[in-house]
Structure 1
Amino acid sequence: MEESKNQCTCADNSLEHANHSEERAPLVPRTSDEKRKIVNRLKRVEGQVRGIERMVEDDRYCVDILIQLSAVQAALQKIGFSILERHTKTCVAKAIEEGHGEEQINELLKVVKQFK
């Protein structure tokens, strides 16, 4: 059972994995450098959010808070697109090569719709 956690299930067509996406791993594991970059970006966003919290507590001007909120949203979107790009180039491409890409493409399109 432990071995299955290390295997990619992106191309797995079972409903079990479709309903438990948090348990799935990428087809091509992220490198240490990729993980480090993503985590560092997320930590910066976390710092920005804490700064916004202080701005609210200090009763700062609404427009200043909105500008910072916009910056956080942009940063998160950039991180999301980076992960989306990697997923497309690895997991989706591999599933297509192996002849079972339709579910991966549908899943990708569904998540892309969430990125407005």
Structure 2
Amino acid sequence: MADAVVAISSPSSFHVLKNLPKLSLPALAPVQVNIRTVTLHRNISGDFDFIVRRTQIPDKQGKLHAVAFVEPVKFRDGPPRPNDIRYGLLPGDQLLRINGTSIDVLSRNDLSTLMEVFITFSPFS
């Protein structure tokens, strides 16, 4: 079966708009972002066992940027195992690239098409 190589970042840190009057929040330490490449394998039904959620987040100047988060469909009980952290998807991982194609320049339709190619392509057809 065909595999997809994706680049993800985990965990992500976001910039927050600072226009909320009288809201006092504690200072937070910056989060170290680990970018890693994982190879996803299809399950027996031909899926990759994750869902993609697209949203927009503001940068420091307040300009919105489209991002895509991936979430595994299946969860194990207990904390993530070391191999899950190194080689698998975790809830909240940000999708950066699929087989070398940066997803930040793709429209929602283009991303869906790219995902569909991986889901429907089979070396057995």
The two structures have a TM-score, normalised by structure 2, of: 0.21
Instruction: Tell me which protein shows more helix as a share of its residues.
Output: 1
Q: With a CA cutoff of 8 Å and minimum separation of 6, indicate the structure with the bigger relative contact order.
A: 2
User: Highest CA radius of gyration, 1 or 2?
Assistant: 1
Instruction: Tell me which protein shows more strand as a share of its residues.
Output: 2
